[in-house]
Structure 1
Amino acid sequence: MEEKKEIILSAKNVVVEFDVRDRILTAIRDISIDLYEGDVLAVVGESGSGKSVLTKTFTGMLESNGRVASGTIDYRGQELTKLRNHKDWEGIRGAKIATIFQDPMTSLDPIQTIGSQITEVIIKHQKKSRSEAKKMAIDYMTKVGIPDPAKRFGEYPFQYSGGMRQRIVIAIALACRPDILICDEPTTALDVTIQAQIIELLKSLQKEYQFTIIFITHDLGVVASIATNVAVMYAGELIGPKRGYSILMHQKFKNQR
């Protein structure tokens, strides 16, 4: 008998709108979804289907012209739609729900060393001294597969390859100790071999640190390799999620549309 898992994030009847010139664009249409502790929920859909918009509502990162027009988003008893500004979100964004983006350079400071960026996150989120944080940062670099981390600690982002930069972003996310890790197409810009390595790394780290993953992608091969739950999005609407959800249903749905 399958163990019953706790729902840690629950979105109910969420509608997201954007003000575009003189009209209102509805990007998310009455979506309800539950995220279970320890799962890997793959959110699949073509470009413009609303995948990233949906997950941005979980971290308060909608663009300034966007808003949650209706619905609720509950994270462990806290209603996220009631959070209005950066200060309100400070205890959630990064600390509880972290995000890895497609381009790691959007998350890394090009003029700050890799080691100092990880160290600062540890000091902020784990309240460690600078010397303790440096040791922990090197440990995190080791865990994500950075060779000779003590030496590379003082290097800058431009000195790392794309795949290695993505590993560093994962290390920074781990240093926040999040409950939920949102992976927004983190392997799209990488070659197939590096993609597979990053997927295996995420699976290994999830097993060790027991966080929950939302994995946004349009790559069905990636879905098959990591997901325990799949939700398909099309034109701002959601199909699923279901365990063992047949990917063939996605193609059937598109053909019917």
Structure 2
Amino acid sequence: MKTYVPVLSIAGSDSSGGAGIQADLKTISALGCYGMTVITATTAQNTKGVNAIHSIPASHIGEQLRAVMEDIKPKAIKIGMLDRPGVVEVLVEILKGYPEIPIVFDPVMVSTSGHKLIQDETVKAIKEKLFPLVTLLTPNMDETSILFGKEVSDLESMKAAGESLLNELPTALLIKGGHMDQSVIYDLLYSKSTGLKILKSEKINSKNVHGTGCSLSSAIAVGLALGMDMETAVAFGRDYVNQAIYYGQQIKTGNGSGPLNHFYNPQKQITNEMD
């Protein structure tokens, strides 16, 4: 008998299919692994923004997680939207029993449209209780500002924030610089074993970047599940997302910020002409 390589996403649901649980499942599947989910909240949203958030009871989130862990133990876990301290607590209580499983935490705090997705008191619970279990933290610049407590707007402030936040984490930190308005994107990978590595890539001018952070963290989790070391997994994830943005830039989905092309295949693009 053979088996799939299982990867678990713990995150919120995006009704438009571009981010959250939906983006995670698409990414995990596109990269050849078997995706499982624990849904922390549902959102009513589309490409133009978030209209409403419905929180799943923390007890049921715990039940979802226990059910998965007892039957299909994942090789890696990606965590996204956690909107309440109680959710953090129930996840930590269960996940601390699986220290061998790498955890990639994308601290979803602000949507692409600027909608705040997290309670203020949750940040404190995340830093005190979840950070000790996290293998890699992947905040963007807005999320880094919230976690650091100071505005992060350029490469120098990214470095200052990274040096500070790494002290609160056991392993590694990837600060994403895609929000900077410049032609070259700088991501900072901090590791307690290898130090700082500055990762550069050309910025792709596309309106379709909804779910980029979710997809990147999921792709890195896939890399770790497949046995890659941290630096290789991050490079693997960044390459996948860059390709998905590139091959999705000419496709229109909705009237706002569209999704990546998760299942891109340059030889087999299937699209419909717009009326």
Q: Same fold (TM over 0.5)?
A: no
Larger % of strand: which? Answer: 1
Larger Rg: 1
TM-score, normalised to structure 2's length? 0.34
TM-score by length of 1: 0.35
Structure number with greater CO (CA < 8 Å, separation at least 6) is 1
